[in-house]
Amino acid sequence: MAVQPDPDLYKRLRKRMLMFYFAAALNLVMALWIMSAGPTQAAGGTVTTVMLIFFAFAGLNFYMARVLRKQWDAHVRQLQQQADGKVNE
């Protein structure tokens, strides 16, 4: 008998991962918008700094979504190993 992961936990985790991906995409759009429209509005150093901040937050959001995915995969693997251990005993 295989142990199934908690579907409610998966739904909450998936929702959180999707929010991180959405935030990352939004940060990328903002960085590209600053890159295209910024030089006419502000000094070059300011535009570069703001653009790099948006890129940094986009990277952080992608990283956090990836960490959550790895934690979920490790949880599922652990449940499978526990189920295999109980079957083999």
pLDDT in tens, 4-51: 778 888 899 999 999 999 999 999 999 999 888 877 777 778 888 999
pLDDT in tens, 61-80: 999 999 999 998 998 888 88
Predicted confidence at residue 3, as pLDDT, reads: 67
Predicted confidence at residue 87, as pLDDT, reads: 57
Measured distance CA(30)–CA(56) in Å, rounded:
12
Burial class (CB in 10 A: 0-12, 13-18, 19+), 54: buried
Tell me the domain boundaries of the chain: 20-74
